[in-house]
Structure 1
Amino acid sequence: MFATATRNFVEEVDPGGLLIPVRSPNDSLTLLTVVVRQKRFWFWQKPKHLPTDFTLNDILTGDTIAPDVIETDFIKYNGTYSDNIQGTMDANFIHSNMNMKGEESSKLQSSFGSLKKDEVDVRKLLQDSKNRVLDMSHCLIQQTRKNRQVFGIVKERIVTSQPCCVIEEMQQTGQCAGTLSLCGPKSPKVSLKDNGSLSKDSNVTMEIRTNTTLAYALIELEVKHDGRYELCLMSNTKGGFEVDSPGKEGLQGVTGASVLKNPEISRLRQEMDHLCGHFQLLATLPASAKSSLLQHITAVLEDRTSLSALQSMLDQMLLDKSADIADVPLAHKENIQAVLDVLVESEKGLAKTERSTTVLRAVHLVTSALDELTSDCLAALRVCCSADVLKIMELLVKCVSASGESPASGADLAVLTEDVLSNIEHLFASANVTLRRDSDAVRTEINHKPGNRPLIMCIALRGLYSLAH
């Protein structure tokens, strides 16, 4: 709930910028707090930042640094995010019929009020850092260096200036009615009727104290053999330890650590072709396994915190580390457990060396892409997760990564409801892709901007389609 609120906040005030949302109110970040940037599995994933209990002064030798702090008013922020999903199903059989209706609505209100920004005077920090040396024997440096991770220090933070709150309201209602009739030549006609309803409401308020950090920005450190360090002042300059070669420092990914900048169609097609084995593996799963994965992954999309929890569990499984389901938020614990059960069953009988092409890695690929989407994109995607709509979006994905003209026709899009169509257009627009309908043809146009948004969207949509057909 707090993590969702801060992530929404950053997406609104600094999209694609340097601000990093705080995941927990327990993260008591101050200026010069040391934060570790952790490697991810796919090169297009945003790095995971892990705040530590140490500051720069804790790992320095000699005198401490007393930074000059600039405090300014930032903005006044109050945000409300709401979703509303409705569904009906009617089934008629020879001797029975069934009618089901469901509706779910949720609202997250973040009333942060007036916020302020604390910022280190970088020029003075640069001066104070000249000829300073880190204590290379410090346990934090030893552990970070061993795992080839990267140090950063907090240079600015956005904090609350007054007590405030985050309010989450959820309402779920459902109705089920059915009739069963039995009759035979030697028995009287029997008719059974059943009606049922389900209603669930929740209203949670989280009070946030003054001076709570909501988001922060980092300066990474480039550390030399002898402990001397330099501040990486440019946003495109990455830190690391001198003992790491460029090859080792690179992130794990499907084709290395390079970042797609202004990706061309040919490069996008190359990446998707490289990943096709993962999608084929998902498509060849037993129907029951595919149905279960699609159902429960789609349900997890309703809650950003639960999606991130599922992603964290899959990270641990890929690293052969134990992950405790007890730490998962209650909202979708059953859905996450169901996904894990399918994956555990698929891993049986496989050696560790065979796991590069397993269902676990394929599902991890898809959920990694989903976790990179913004909250409004996840809301739009949930409306589009039926098999028929996913089929049309898969055709549009082929359009994006191929010639630019889709096998889907204008007639295909015309049969969609206005709500679904507007969500599809929003989903593609958020990935810097414009859809154009010209009579009987549909064309796509990639708006070349820095980042990997078209690739991430294509992976997410093709992965869900692989489970739906």
Structure 2
Amino acid sequence: MFKKVIQSIVNQMDPRGDLVPVHSILDHEHFRPLCLVRRKRKAIFHPSPCYKRTWYRLDDVLLPGEDNKSTESLFPNGDGQDSRQFTVKKSVSDRVDGSLSLCVDPTSVELKGAASFSKQWSIKLEKNYIPVPELEALKTERKMNVNHSFIQQLKKKRQNLYVVHETIETLEEASYEESTKAEGSFMSQLYAKFCAKGTRENKQSITIPKGCTLAFRAIQLAITDGSWDLEYFPEESRSMFVSDGFSQGKLGALEEEVKENCQVLSKLSSDLLIIFLKAIKAVMRDRNLFQELTQKMEAVLDETGSCKLETESPDLRDLLSSLQYSSRHLLLKLAGAIAYTLDALDELTEDQLLLLLESLEEKVVSQQLKLVESILEHDIEHRKEHFSVDASVLSFSREKEQKITIAMVEMSGVKLQEDGSAVCMEEAFSAVAALYVSLYVLDLLSNSD
């Protein structure tokens, strides 16, 4: 829910800019001004920059200046940042009513129904930023500590480093609430009168604390022999570390990327497939487990040497144990496949994850994968008008399976009809690509069933 709210705020404030949303409320303090972050591996399903925490601030990796002052003291107002305040509001409320009456002597039937949906928030925000000229001035005052273990590891792995210089934070505690309510009644008159009525209500809410970082901007650092610089045009300049690659957003490129990252999973034994699937299903249900597994896989890939593949969770224990006893070469490949899968799942909504779990139970993931592949065969990256997919892949043995599938695809921005006609409701390629990757891996792992 936090991710959904923040993405909506960012879309309102900076729809075509480079403001990056913070996806987890658990990590918000690691994206404040002067925090150091790294770029995640580029993937077709998230072409815009995505960052991960490093636990370090710029001050931690700089050598002391001549006056031995901290970075914060170099800025005019003492706390190292300027600020601006503003408020973002949103309110959505929908209600649909309907009824149906049938009369065939001696029987009459009446059906009534209503559904409503509402969500609203009002958040006071503060923009905090460190003026770039102040960062430029800092370069001459403080040199980079190239002997710092973190900088040494980055150099060895040839990874880029970025510093947060602007954030959007909550000025006061804020709450978001979303509610869905459905009502229905049924009355039948045969030889006796029968009435029934049902109501279903679903409410979700989240409280965002004061001072929570919701979004940020970062600038790349270039580090050479103790000096450091700001890379304003990183794509056009040479940096110390290898720059991130760029993937073309087409189905062929996506299939190639998925196979490259996940081919190792297809070589697992049936027993290991079951273990891997159990763990992935567990993290789809539990955000804390999701974060734990993500952090452990990133630690393996970063080769920090401090990663212990141990856990208190019985849902992850078998997976981590199997990884622990793998060769180093195989471990890196498996960790890469798991991290890639988690990145794709992280692009989906909470409701989509639940529908995916239900799809696994119904054993329709293979057919859903074919459907999503048929959608991606069209140029949905730029398409706004209607198009058609093969209606046969929308033909499920049960109506429930079809509804689950249509709902899941619609959450990625493509509205489907039972006859195969479809339309993109938004720029949907990245979201549909993430769904494709998720279905591909789940289908592969569930082949052990």
Q: Please indicate the TM-score interval, normalised by the length of the shorter structure.
A: 0.5 to 0.7
Aligned to 1:71, which of 67, 71, 83? 83
1:391 maps to 366
Distance 1:205 1:402 in 2: 38
Contact (CA 8 Å) 2:355, 2:408: kept in 1 or not? yes
Aligned to 1:10, which of 6, 12, 15? 6
Aligned to 1:312, which of 287, 295, 301? 295
2:436 maps to 458
1:36 maps to 37
**Secondary structure at 2:360's aligned position in 1?**
coil
Does 2:59 align with 1:55?
Answer: yes
1:161 maps to 171
1:238-264 CA-to-partner distances (Å, cap 9, x unmatched) read 6998443xxxx145xxxxx3233xx12
Q: How does 1:362-373 map to 2 (within 5 A)?
A: 362-373=337-348
Seen in structure 2, the aligned counterparts of structure 1 residues 314 and 219 have a Cα distance that, compared at 3 Å, is: closer
Contact (CA 8 Å) 1:380, 1:426: kept in 2 or not? no
1:423-464 CA-to-partner distances (Å, cap 9, x unmatched) read 2222442xxxx365574xx47788996985444322210111
Q: How does 1:218-297 map to 2 (within 5 A)?
A: 218-225=218-225, 227-232=227-232, 237=234, 242-244=239-241, 249-250=242-243, 257-260=245-248, 263-274=249-260, 277-278=263-264, 280-281=266-267, 285-286=270-271, 289-297=272-280
Distance 2:416 2:250 in 1: 19
1:84 maps to none
Seen in structure 2, the aligned counterparts of structure 1 residues 220 and 274 have a Cα distance that, compared at 3 Å, is: closer
Distance 1:309 1:317 in 2: 13
CA RMSD of aligned residues (A): 4.7
1:140-192 CA-to-partner distances (Å, cap 9, x unmatched) read 6455444433333322222332356799xxxxxxxxxxxxxxxxxxxxxxxxx
Aligned residues: 366
CA shift at 1:34, angstroms? 3.5
1:190-233 CA-to-partner distances (Å, cap 9, x unmatched) read xxxxxxxxxxxxx999894x44444432222233446141342x
Aligned to 1:117, which of 108, 117, 127? 127
1:424 maps to 408
The normalised TM-score by structure 1 is 0.61
Distance 2:425 2:123 in 1: 35
CA shift at 1:394, angstroms? 1.8
Seen in structure 2, the aligned counterparts of structure 1 residues 38 and 62 have a Cα distance that, compared at 3 Å, is: farther
Contact (CA 8 Å) 2:144, 2:228: kept in 1 or not? no
CA shift at 1:35, angstroms? 0.8
Distance 1:310 1:292 in 2: 14
1:297-334 CA-to-partner distances (Å, cap 9, x unmatched) read 223212333212122223345547323425xxxxxx33
**Secondary structure at 1:382's aligned position in 2?**
helix
CA shift at 1:118, angstroms? 1.6
Contact (CA 8 Å) 2:82, 2:130: kept in 1 or not? yes
Does 2:341 align with 1:340?
Answer: no
**Secondary structure at 1:52's aligned position in 2?**
strand
Q: How does 1:185-196 map to 2 (within 5 A)?
A: none
Distance 2:369 2:423 in 1: 16
Give the aligned residue type for 2:316. Answer: I
Seen in structure 2, the aligned counterparts of structure 1 residues 324 and 113 have a Cα distance that, compared at 3 Å, is: farther
The normalised TM-score by structure 2 is 0.63
Contact (CA 8 Å) 1:380, 1:427: kept in 2 or not? no
Distance 2:155 2:282 in 1: 39
Aligned to 1:377, which of 346, 352, 371? 352
1:415 maps to 399
Seen in structure 2, the aligned counterparts of structure 1 residues 11 and 294 have a Cα distance that, compared at 3 Å, is: same
Distance 1:275 1:228 in 2: 34
**Secondary structure at 1:463's aligned position in 2?**
helix
CA shift at 1:8, angstroms? 3.8
Seen in structure 2, the aligned counterparts of structure 1 residues 334 and 238 have a Cα distance that, compared at 3 Å, is: farther
